[in-house]
């Protein structure tokens, strides 16, 4: 959609340029002085290229996290037994977990602030939400960032089936959905210990991660998949497959037979690979991408077009993103969605030209008060959605009197730190470009103070929508 002279869009106003839509709808907003892109090819190139911010802002390794979890478990056991120094050791271990969480929050912000390929970072967030694992408790707090780093981020530009397998086998997912408590009723461990089947992971794989709610699967498919997934477990070093808890015999999922011989991880990989390219999975993912990035009423023909490309490519995500972005409706107005709190904060910091390094020295109380507590007040505690279905997409879920007040309060604090000497008119132009309405420009220009003008820009519907 090229902007031509005299062409008009929303409410008779001139249509915004594609570079503006690319930055706001598909990225984390403008950063003044940073090169902009305005084509599907350019956005896709950013996903296919080097993941620069991952290399620039490192997180703790899987090994370090496993050692941290082991230390805390040992200290907790010592404290429960009333052993000397147990409580002190547990307190020290808990402090290390909290510090690690703080570092993970900081790194997540820094990557989004600094990234020149915002679409890639938005996709990482999209798939993290799609495969939601809430960081409830110290163990999951340590593991969730590792899931994002090693099961999601490497596969964002690859095949969905590879991501599905990596996420499903990750310790964070296995712990979160209680797969570690599941055992085949007829397995060696099941018979000896009376352990039973847990269907949580199987149900969420079908209902949330692949086919979608209301798709063509039955409760029997859920149970059969749950039996097939037995054996997936976690030990002190991470993921493991335990044949002693695996249900013996063959299982039939969606009409196809798996297993029948010795319990095998290969059978689990096979069923996940098949479900990943199922037609219902293609449609479910297509719909979610449209809802998340474009919003509004979802046209069924667009869903089918994306799903067709997905299936024809064997679940290739780059081809799927291309089918989303090459559709003219992806670049059409109005902006239907509301920025989630994290996205709002990132776009504000980028518009303010705040460097990612400004977070380097934030620790403890400063980090909590500056980032974590405001996110919670706005309704999105980082890494901790309410359930396995992730964060809400509906705009009304994010704009309530209380959460809007929290956005305004944080905006004021951010402006006081970074924008005290900034002309609000220039800030508005850098933050929204041609997406700012004449009315907003007039209001900002007429504000009584610079701080008021900046706050007005950040509180505007134009800045909060995408």
Span 283-305, pLDDT tens digits: 999 999 999 999 999 999 999 99
User: How would residue 421 be classed by pLDDT, with cut points 50, 70 and 90?
Assistant: confident
How far apart CA 89 and CA 331 sit, in angstroms, is 55
Whole-model pTM: value is 0.95
Average pLDDT across the chain, whole number: 93
CB atoms under 10 Å from CB of 243, counted, come to 16
Residue tagged 């996205």 (tokens): 343
Residue 361: the pLDDT is 82
- Domain-wise residue ranges, the chain: 24-41+336-463, 53-115, 175-277, 279-326
User: Greater confidence, 140 or 5?
Assistant: 140
Give the pLDDT score at 8: 41
Residue 65 has pLDDT above 90, yes or no: yes
pLDDT of 1 strictly over 60: no
Give residue 363's pLDDT band: very low, low, confident or very high (50, 70, 90): confident
pLDDT value, residue 130: 99
- How many C-beta atoms lie closer than 10 Å to residue 82's C-beta? 8
Is 70 exceeded by the pLDDT of residue 66?
A: yes
pLDDT of residue 14: 58
> 7 pLDDT exceeds 70?
no
Tell me: the pLDDT tens digits for 140-185?
Answer: 999 999 999 999 999 999 999 999 999 999 999 999 999 999 999 9
Average pLDDT over residues 117-142: 97
pLDDT at 237: 85
């Amino acid at each position: 959609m090229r902007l031509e002279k005299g062409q008009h869009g929303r409410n008779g106003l001139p249509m915004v340029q594609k570079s503006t839509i690319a930055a706001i709808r598909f990225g984390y907003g403008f950063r003044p002085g940073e090169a902009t892109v305005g084509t599907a090819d350019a956005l896709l190139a950013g996903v296919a290229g080097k993941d620069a911010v991952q290399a620039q802002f490192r997180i703790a390794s899987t090994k370090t996290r496993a050692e941290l979890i082991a230390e805390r478990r040992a200290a907790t056991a010592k404290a429960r037994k009333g052993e000397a120094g147990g409580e002190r050791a547990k307190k020290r271990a808990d402090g290390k977990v909290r510090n690690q969480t703080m570092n993970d929050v900081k790194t997540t912000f820094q990557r989004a602030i600094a990234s020149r390929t915002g679409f890639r970072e938005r996709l990482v967030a999209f798939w993290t939400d799609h495969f939601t694992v809430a960081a409830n408790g110290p163990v999951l707090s340590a593991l969730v960032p590792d899931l994002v780093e090693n099961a999601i981020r490497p596969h964002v530009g690859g095949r969905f089936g590879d991501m599905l397998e990596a996420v499903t086998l990750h310790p964070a997912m296995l712990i979160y959905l209680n797969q570690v408590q599941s055992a085949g009723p007829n397995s060696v461990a099941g018979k000896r210990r009376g352990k039973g089947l847990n269907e949580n992971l199987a149900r969420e794989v079908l209902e949330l991660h692949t086919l979608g709610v209301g798709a063509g699967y039955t409760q029997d498919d859920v149970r059969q998949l749950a039996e097939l997934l037995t054996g997936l477990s976690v030990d002190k070093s991470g993921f493991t497959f335990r044949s002693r808890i695996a249900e013996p015999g063959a299982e039939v999922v969606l009409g196809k037979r798996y297993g029948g011989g010795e319990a095998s991880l290969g059978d689990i990989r096979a069923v996940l690979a098949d479900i990943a390219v199922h037609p219902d999975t293609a449609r479910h993912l297509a719909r979610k991408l449209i809802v998340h990035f474009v919003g509004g009423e979802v046209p069924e023909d667009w869903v089918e077009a994306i799903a067709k490309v997905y299936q024809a490519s064997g679940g290739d995500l780059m081809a799927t993103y291309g089918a989303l972005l090459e559709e003219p409706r992806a670049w059409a107005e109005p902006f239907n969605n509301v920025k989630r709190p994290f996205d709002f904060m990132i776009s504000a910091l980028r518009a303010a030209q705040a460097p990612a390094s400004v977070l380097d020295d934030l620790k403890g109380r400063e980090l909590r008060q500056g980032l974590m507590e405001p996110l919670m007040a706005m309704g999105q505690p980082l890494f901790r959605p309410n359930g396995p279905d992730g964060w809400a997409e509906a705009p009304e879920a994010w704009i309530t009197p209380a959460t809007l007040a929290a956005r305004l309060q944080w905006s004021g604090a951010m402006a006081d730190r970074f924008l005290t000497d900034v002309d609000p008119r220039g800030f508005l132009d850098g933050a929204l470009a041609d997406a700012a309405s004449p009315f907003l420009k007039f209001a900002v220009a007429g504000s009584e103070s610079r701080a008021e003008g900046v706050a007005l820009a950040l509180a505007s519907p134009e800045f909060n929508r995408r």
